[in-house]
Amino acid sequence: MNKNNMICDLETGVCGVGGEEEMELVDFNQLEKKITLYYVTDPICSHCWALEPVLKRFVEQYGHYFKFQTVMGGLLPSWNGFADKTNGIGGPSDVAGHWREVGVYARMPIDGNVWIQNPIQSSFPPSLVFKVIQQKDEQLADTYLRRAREAVFLFNQNIGDNQVLTNIVNAMNLDGASIVKEADLSSGRELLDEDFKLSRKLGVRGFPTIIMVNEENKGIKIVGARSIEEYVKGLQEVLSTSEEIKAQPPRPLKKILENESLLFSKEIEEMYGLEKHEVKEFIKKELPTEMYEINEILDELYIKTR
C-alpha cells in the first residue's frame, strides 16, 4: 500500500412455535454456511464507522448465508510517511475536519477533536487488542471494536493509549490490563501480521472492503461504504443460484439494543425502514421506558441502555 496515495472519498465511501406439520421434508443443506464474508477494516476508519448502519442490517438479515470474519487492515502504522493528499491530510490535525465531514454526510456522528487535543499516533494498538480478544471470542471482539469506535468518534478518546484501551475492555467485564499487556507481546503482533497478510492476499487497498468468497474460492469484492442493495446483489452473485435470497426479519429493537447498548437514529432507520421523523415514536412503541435513555450528540439522536 502506498501511504502517500491514500484516498477517502465521500461519494464512494472509500456487524417451539406451533403450527408445524406432523411430517415435512427439510433441506438441511440450507443450514450450512458456505460463504465466508471478510470485513477488512480499521478501528479509526471513518468510512467504516459510516458503514455501521448498513453493515449491521446486512448481517442481521442475511447473516444466515455467511460466516462473518473481521480482519484488521492497518490503516495508520504511524504518521511517518503517511498522507491522504486527496483530502489535504498530511498530519493529525488535518484529520479533524475530514472526519466531521464524513460524520455529517453519513449521519453517524464524529466529533474529530481528538486529532487536535490528543492525536492518535497509530491504529495498531487498538487493532492488537482486537486480535487478542478475537482469539478468545469473535463476538466479543466485534463488540470491543464498536466500543472503541464510540470512544474515539464520539467522545474524543485516544484509542492508541493503553489506559484508554484498558478502560474500554474493563467496561466489557473483561480483564483490560491483562488483555492490553498480552496485546503488547510478540504473539499479539504475530496475530495482527496474519491479518495484514490475509488482507494483502485478498487484494485489499482501502477500507472498508467486504469480500464474499464461496466454496469454489470465487468471490465478490466491494470497496467503500455502499448501500444494502449492493451487498445483497453481491451475495446473490457469489451464491451462484438463480433462486432469490431471502432476508430474515430483524429482531425486535429491544433485543438489538440489549446487544449493542447504544444505537443511533440512522441505525434504527436503516434496520427498520423508517424515516428520521418516525424514530422517536417507534422507540416509544418498542421499548419499555425504564430500559433506555434518549439523547442527542452533534444533532443526531441516539439511545442507550440505562
Percent of the chain with pLDDT over 90: 83
Q: Which of 41, 107, 105 is nearest to 301 (CA)?
A: 107
The pLDDT tens digits for 246-304 are 999 999 999 999 999 999 999 999 999 999 999 999 999 999 999 999 999 999 999 99
- How far is 245 from 232, CA to CA, in rounded Å? 8
- Within a 13 Å sphere around the CA of 102, how many CA atoms are in the beta-carbon half? 28
Terminal C-alpha separation, the chain: 43
CATH superfamily of 3-13+29-201: Glutaredoxin (3.40.30.10)
pLDDT tens across the length of the chain (306 residues) = 555 555 566 766 662 334 444 454 544 444 466 899 999 999 999 999 999 999 999 999 999 999 999 999 999 999 988 877 777 788 899 999 999 999 999 999 999 999 999 999 999 999 999 999 999 999 999 999 999 999 999 999 999 999 999 999 999 999 999 999 999 999 999 999 999 999 999 999 999 999 999 999 999 999 999 999 999 999 999 998 888 899 999 999 999 999 999 999 999 999 999 999 999 999 999 999 999 999 999 999 999 999
Alpha-carbon torsion 79, 80, 86, 89, what sign?
Answer: positive
User: Residue ranges per domain, the chain?
Assistant: 3-13+29-201, 253-305
Does this model's pTM top 0.85? My answer is yes
What fold characterizes domain 253-305? Arc Repressor Mutant, subunit A (1.10.10)
